[in-house]
């Protein structure tokens, strides 16, 4: 019997697949992106000219939360894909709507994970406000300030700031702002991991910021940035 495929193995196989697919476009790949006030977290989210979600169901997972997760993902993402294994593919097919793509991973003789798309992923339009909801209050203000819109509107609450931007920006511009915001959150987390004296991280190793590294944002800790509004 083959060794069970773990969540980490599926995640890294999908990450590599996504990086190859989007190598020529400005893209961020985000781990654990919370949506719907963190009612669900996309295992992997791709932010470029659209929002793409990958939900991972490994051999060691169950599908009890999948219907609720997919309901939220279909509100917030242009495309949704479930990456799973032969153990769960029938159950995923039953739970997922026709627009949700399915990728099945299998272990090769060499021990690596090979992926095969067994159902295509269909793109649909989403409410631009859903994109804006993923941008935090201070980040909304920065987006407004870059365009000279913050003066006179500084006291707007989060909902009003989102409405203001949605009324004035195209979807691709909102996605650009989200990508900038997520990249900035990553950099803040990276800085918080440094110690003032020697630049080492809390895990004991140095932090190296390299422009050539994969554009992947690790999960954010609650203390690593301002809270959303």
Is residue 228 scored above 70 in pLDDT?
no
Kindly report, residue by residue over 1-23, the tens digit of the pLDDT.
679 999 999 999 999 999 999 99
- Picking from 84, 89, 178, 82, the residue whose alpha carbon sits closest to that of residue 126 is 178
Q: Give domain status of residue 51, yes or no.
A: yes
Kindly report, residue by residue over 32-43, the tens digit of the pLDDT.
999 999 899 999
Q: Give domain status of residue 160, yes or no.
A: yes
- In terms of domains, do 76 and 165 share one? no
Instruction: Find tokens 């006179």 and name the residue.
Output: 152
- Picking from 14, 207, 228, the residue whose alpha carbon sits closest to that of residue 116 is 14
- Mean pLDDT value across residues 21-33: 92
- In terms of domains, do 175 and 192 share one? yes
- Mean pLDDT value across residues 139-161: 97
- In terms of domains, do 59 and 132 share one? no
- Mean pLDDT value across residues 154-159: 97
Kindly report, residue by residue over 170-186, the tens digit of the pLDDT.
999 999 999 999 999 98
- In terms of domains, do 134 and 156 share one? yes
- In terms of domains, do 53 and 145 share one? no
- In terms of domains, do 97 and 151 share one? no
Is residue 219 scored above 50 in pLDDT?
no
- Expressed as residue numbers, the domain containing 25 is 7-119
CATH code of 99's domain: 3.40.1350.60
What contacts 91, CB < 8 A, 6 or more positions away? 63, 66
Q: Give domain status of residue 2, yes or no.
A: no
For residue 2, the SS3 value is coil
Kindly report, residue by residue over 99-126, the tens digit of the pLDDT.
999 999 999 999 999 999 999 999 999 9
- In terms of domains, do 72 and 134 share one? no
E strands, the chain, are 28-35, 40-47, 51-56, 79-85, 101-107, 113-119, 216-217
Q: Give domain status of residue 221, yes or no.
A: no
- In terms of domains, do 105 and 144 share one? no
Is residue 206 scored above 80 in pLDDT?
no
CA distance from start to end of the chain: 49
Q: Give domain status of residue 207, yes or no.
A: no
- In terms of domains, do 66 and 91 share one? yes
Q: Give domain status of residue 210, yes or no.
A: no
User: What's the pLDDT at 198?
Assistant: 52
- In terms of domains, do 63 and 112 share one? yes
Which of 119, 146, 164 delimits the end of a domain?
119
Identify whether the C-beta of residue 116 lies closer than 8 Å to the C-beta of residue 104. yes
What is the Cα–Cα distance from 10 to 31, expressed in whole angstroms?
A: 13
- In terms of domains, do 113 and 145 share one? no
Kindly report, residue by residue over 48-106, the tens digit of the pLDDT.
999 999 999 999 999 999 999 999 999 999 999 999 999 999 999 999 999 999 999 99
- In terms of domains, do 148 and 87 share one? no
Q: Give domain status of residue 229, yes or no.
A: no
User: What's the pLDDT at 214?
Assistant: 38
User: What's the pLDDT at 203?
Assistant: 43
Least confident of 46-50, 113-117, 158-162, 204-208: 204-208
Which of 67, 101, 119 delimits the end of a domain?
119
Which of 88, 119, 150 delimits the end of a domain?
119
* Domain count within the chain: 2
- Mean pLDDT value across residues 208-227: 37
Q: Give domain status of residue 220, yes or no.
A: no
- Mean pLDDT value across residues 149-153: 96
């Amino acid at each position: 019997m083959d060794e069970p495929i773990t969540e980490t193995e599926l995640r890294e196989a999908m990450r590599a697949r996504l990086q190859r697919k989007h190598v020529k476009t400005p893209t961020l790949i985000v781990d654990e992106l919370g949506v719907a006030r963190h009612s669900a977290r996309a295992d992997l989210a791709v932010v470029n000219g659209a929002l793409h979600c990958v939900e991972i169901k490994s051999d060691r997972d169950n599908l009890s939360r999948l219907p609720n997760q997919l309901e939220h993902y279909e509100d917030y993402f242009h495309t949704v894909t479930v990456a799973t294994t032969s153990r769960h593919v029938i159950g995923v097919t039953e739970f997922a709507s026709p627009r949700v793509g399915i990728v099945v991973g299998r272990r090769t003789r060499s021990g690596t994970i090979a992926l095969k798309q067994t159902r295509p992923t269909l793109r649909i339009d989403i409410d631009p406000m859903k994109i804006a909801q993923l941008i935090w209050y201070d980040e909304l203000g920065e987006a407004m300030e870059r365009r000279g819109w913050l003066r006179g509107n500084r006291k707007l609450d989060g909902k009003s700031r989102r409405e203001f931007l949605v009324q004035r920006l195209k979807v691709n511009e909102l996605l650009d702002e989200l990508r900038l915001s997520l990249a900035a959150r990553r950099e803040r987390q990276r800085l918080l991991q440094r110690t003032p004296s020697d630049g080492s991280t809390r895990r004991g190793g140095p932090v190296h910021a390299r422009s050539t590294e994969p554009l992947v944002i690790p999960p954010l800790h609650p203390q690593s940035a301002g809270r959303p509004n």
